[in-house]
Structure 1
Amino acid sequence: MEAPPGPSSRRPWKPTCLYYTQGKCTMLSDTLHLEKFNHKLLTDLPVNSSAADKVKPQKLDYFLVLDLEGKVEILEFPVVMIDAQSMEFVDSFHRFVRPTAMSEQRIGECIEGKYGKFGVDRVWHDTAIPFKEVLQEFEDWIRDHKLWKKEQGGALNSAAFITCGNWDLKTK
């Protein structure tokens, strides 16, 4: 009988390559880079089986967990796709967003304040793109997952957005 996977059977933790999360890692053939950074994102996260047993059957196939980041303008657009039946991670989309209405000085201050203490400010400056481009890439991503067709007027197919708080979609 095989022992259930435990903490000792997991691979050692490695930080995620933030360029990879933006779809811009150019070092996927560099062995040292691959040894140092994770490129699998959230695929190793365990599902809490006792909590999963309490999940009611859904008419949806996927939850799209959206958690926009920013204060004046959106600075980060992350979405995690979760299987609505098993509650397991399926895929993720993540882009840094370059504001268009803020001055470069103000952008620099915001990015330094939000991401500088984590060392992510350099990745943000290297990879951030305007919101229109982020939205186009996101539309391509959900279309590739067969969750959306522009021709259908924008309605999602068998998926729903989930947010944490009012800021993300300003519903109140």
Structure 2
Amino acid sequence: MARWDFFLVVDFEATCQEKGRIYPQEIIEFPAVLVDAATGSLVSAFRTYVRPRHHPQLTAFCKELTGIEQSQVDGGVGLGEALAKLDARLAAAGVARNRLAVVTWGDWDCKTMLESECRFKGIPKPEYFDRWVNLRIPFEAAFGPGRRNLQEAVKEAGLQWVGRLHCGLDDARNTAYLLVEVMRRGVAISITGSLAPALAPKEEGDEAPSQPQPQPQPQAQRVGLNLGMWAGGAGALPCCCFCGVASR
């Protein structure tokens, strides 16, 4: 039986400026493409624009790079609502979260950008975003080692680039096409990155402790596929993310 029923390909766009880092950086385009793991078909696409809270006015550089207009983010939703909208879309499609794998080109989207902003703003996120496939790794298994950006990888795979570079939805679609090509070449797709804590191995002969153990403190509730809307509050952890434009 196949490990995954669906792949969810994401490619976030975020606030940025031409010189130096913008702090805190915030997602402004939230796209996702759903891929059937059995057939390789692109099932559906999702996109919502996200209204930045700390730097609501986009820089000229950001608008030129991403093609996103100020009016689009002004009419956007909060990050929490964007996550909830995607969750509802997946629920309506009957996607089981334990049979879904998130796919990105690189680790930045899940490991750095989404995680940092959710922590900074105190926004819970669906647990399927805590594990992901960095497509660079199976791509290298198919085409050999070497550093390429997404557009170079698409060309090397013999595919035609579709749409506008640094449009999040177009980047996600091209990543999805690349994923399908890698699968077509027989490379197994497995999780390559994770934010979930590793379980300590249990040694042989370990016995349950005789004394009662202190109970862990309750953590922020994780979001399942049927969660409704939620709003983000102030977070205690700093945001230290970076757009990574040069490395994509």
TM-score where L is the length of structure 2: 0.37
Q: 2: CA distance between counterparts of 1:108 and 1:59?
A: 41
Q: Which residue of 1 aligns with 2:88?
A: 140
Match of 2:2?
58
Query: How far apart, in 2, do the equivalents of 1:62 and 1:118 lie?
Result: 27
Structure 1 portions without partners, runs of 5+: 1-56, 149-155
Q: Distance in 2 between matches of 1:163 and 1:117?
A: 19
Which residue of 2 is the match for residue 121 of structure 1? 69
- C-alpha separation in 2, matches of 1:117 and 1:166: 20
Query: Residue 166 of structure 1 aligns to which amino acid in structure 2?
Result: D
Q: Quote the RMSD (CA, aligned, Å).
A: 2.4
Is this contact kept in 1: 2:6–2:35, CA < 8 A? yes
Q: 1:168 aligns with which of 109, 117, 122?
A: 109
Q: Distance in 2 between matches of 1:132 and 1:118?
A: 22
Aligned amino acid, residue 145 of structure 1: A
- 1:8 — aligned with what? none
Counterpart of 1:63 in 2: which secondary structure?
Answer: strand
For 2:92 and 2:81, how far apart are their aligned partners in 1?
16
CA distance 1:116–1:128, shift in 2 (3 Å): farther
Is residue 95 from structure 1 mapped to residue 39 from structure 2 by the alignment?
A: no
**Given residue 96 of structure 1, which amino acid in structure 2 is its aligned partner?**
Y
User: Which residue of the partner structure matches residue 188 of structure 2?
Assistant: none
Residues 5-154 of structure 1: pairs in structure 2 closer than 5 A:
58-71=2-15, 72-100=25-53, 102-104=54-56, 107-109=57-59, 112-116=60-64, 120-122=68-70, 124-125=72-73, 127-148=75-96
d(CA) in 2 for partners of 1:140, 1:157: 16
* Cα distance change, pair 169–118 in 1 and its aligned pair in 2 (3 A): closer
Q: Which has the larger radius of gyration?
A: 2
Equivalenced residue count is 104
SS of 2:50's equivalent in the other structure is strand
Higher strand share: 1
* Identical pairs, percent: 29
Kept in 2: contact 1:62–1:81 (CA 8 A): yes
CA shift for structure 1 position 90: 0.2
Following superposition, the deviation at residue 120 of structure 1 comes to 3.6
Q: Which runs of 5+ in 2 are unaligned?
A: 16-24, 112-193, 196-248
Point out which structure has higher relative CO (alpha carbons under 8 A, 6+ apart). Answer: 2
Superposed CA deviations along residues 95-130 of structure 1, whole A, max 9, x for unmatched, are 111112x233xx321xx3233467541552353211
